[in-house]
A and B are shown apart, each in its own frame.
Chain A
Amino acid sequence: MLGSLYSFAQASSGDSVFTSIGIDWKILIFQGVAFLVLVFVIAKWVMPPLVKAVDDRQKKIEEATEAATQAEKNAKKAEESTQSKLDEARQQAADIVATAKQEANAQLEASEQRAEQKAEAIVTNAREQIEKDVIAAKKALHNETIELVALATEKVVGKTVDKSLDNKTISEALKEVR
């Protein structure tokens, strides 16, 4: 078809406005028709699949972008959730530490109090024991002194008192009682 078109163009060529400006109207027509055919072919067979492919790709890109955006949102959400859980966990840990410190302090105070009470009880017991020991020692001293005085008196009186002294003592005692 192109060959015939080319031959028709050669046969009918002559000098015109187009040839004065260097344009061959026959070739131009031919190129125009060829162009139109090309456009037709491209529009019919090339463009649709190409457009479809581009559209598909565009669609995929949009989907991917949307997925990415959604993923970003989810990630942000997850991060926020994690952060809030971490904050919560930190707060709980802080509470636990504070409670443990309080309990430890309370236990320490209680232990100190118990130790103080025990020490006081020991001191009180020791004082009582010392008092008891002192009283017992005083009693023992009292008794020993009495015994020593009695023994000394027995020994001294037994040796020094004779008949006349005894009689004199008896006489004086009787006078005193009267």
Chain B
Amino acid sequence: MSKKLSRRTIAQYCANQIIAKDDLIIKKLAAFLVDSNRTREAILIVRDIESALASSGTVVARVVVAHELQASVEAEIKKFIAHSTDATKVAMQVTTDASLLGGISIDTPDHRFDDTVQGKLKTLRANKV
């Protein structure tokens, strides 16, 4: 009976493959998870992969904004993430959510930056006694 691989081991392997530019690694991972009946761990494994990539200098950041970003602003955001995380490479996932009203939210494996209007209103509402 084969030993169950830990999430960390799987994540580290996938991260190494991504850095080595293996385009099929994600499909392989998906197949592995289905085969080993571990599909529920998918999200956790993805986060572990992101953490492993961040340790190697590649940061995956989820960026949420209220309006479409201009190219210059996107570049500024990338610069900001690279500076904050000491990353050599930054991969951004940008999504738009109008309910944020304005501002930006940046999520990396180790940091969270919330400068949205909705976030500020939440903080304000949290000050209710």
Choose from A139, A165, A170 the contact partner of B104 (Cβ within 8 Å).
A170
> Is B115 a contact partner of A173 (Cβ separation < 8 A)?
yes
Considering only residues 146-178 of chain A, those with a C-beta below 8 Å from chain B are: 146-147, 149-150, 153-154, 157-158, 161-167, 169-171, 173-174, 177-178
Bound complex: CA A139 to CA B128 (Å):
8
Q: Which of B68, B77, B102 has the most CB of A within 10 A?
A: B102
Q: Which residues of A contact B117 (CB under 8 A)?
A: 153-154, 157, 161
> Is A143 interfacial (CB-CB < 8 Å)?
yes
Q: Let me know if B87 is at the binding interface, CB within 8 A.
A: no
- Complex: A121 Cα to B128 Cα, angstroms: 33
Interface size class of A (residues with CB under 8 A): 20 to 34
- For A164, the chain B residues whose CB sits under 8 A away are 70
- Bound complex: CA of A50 vs CA of B128, how far in Å? 135
Asked whether A167 lies within 8 Å of B67 as measured between CB atoms, the reply is yes
Bound-complex Cα distance A8 to B65 (A): 197
Q: Across the interface, do B124 and A146 meet the contact criterion of CB distance under 8 Å? A: yes
1/0 per residue, CB under 8 A from A, across B94-129: the answer is 000000011110000000010101000100110111
Is A142 interfacial (CB-CB < 8 Å)?
yes
Q: Assess whether A167 is in contact with B101, with CB atoms less than 8 Å apart.
A: no
- What's the Cα separation between A173 and B67 when bound, in Å? 15
Cβ of B73 under 8 Å from chain A: yes
| Bound-complex Cα distance A167 to B73 (A) | 7
Q: Are B113 and A169 in contact (CB under 8 A)?
A: no
Cβ of B76 within 8 Å of any chain A Cβ, yes or no, is yes
Kindly list chain B residues whose C-beta atoms are within 8 Å of the C-beta of A170: 65, 69, 73, 76-77, 103-104, 115
For A166, give its contact among B77, B80, B102, B127 (CB under 8 Å): B102
* Residues of A close to B72: CB separation below 8 A: 171
Q: Are A157 and B101 in contact (CB under 8 A)?
A: yes
Q: Is the CB of B68 within 8 A of A169?
A: no
**Which residues of chain B from 22 to 77 have any CB-CB distance to chain A below 8 Å in the complex?**
65-70, 72-73, 76-77
Can you name the residue of chain B whose Cβ is closest to the Cβ of A138?
B129
The residues of B with any CB-CB pair to A shorter than 8 Å are 65-70, 72-73, 76-77, 80, 83, 101-104, 113, 115, 117, 121, 124-125, 127-129
Q: Which chain A residues have a beta carbon within 8 Å of chain B's beta carbons?
A: 139, 142-143, 146-147, 149-150, 153-154, 157-158, 161-167, 169-171, 173-174, 177-178
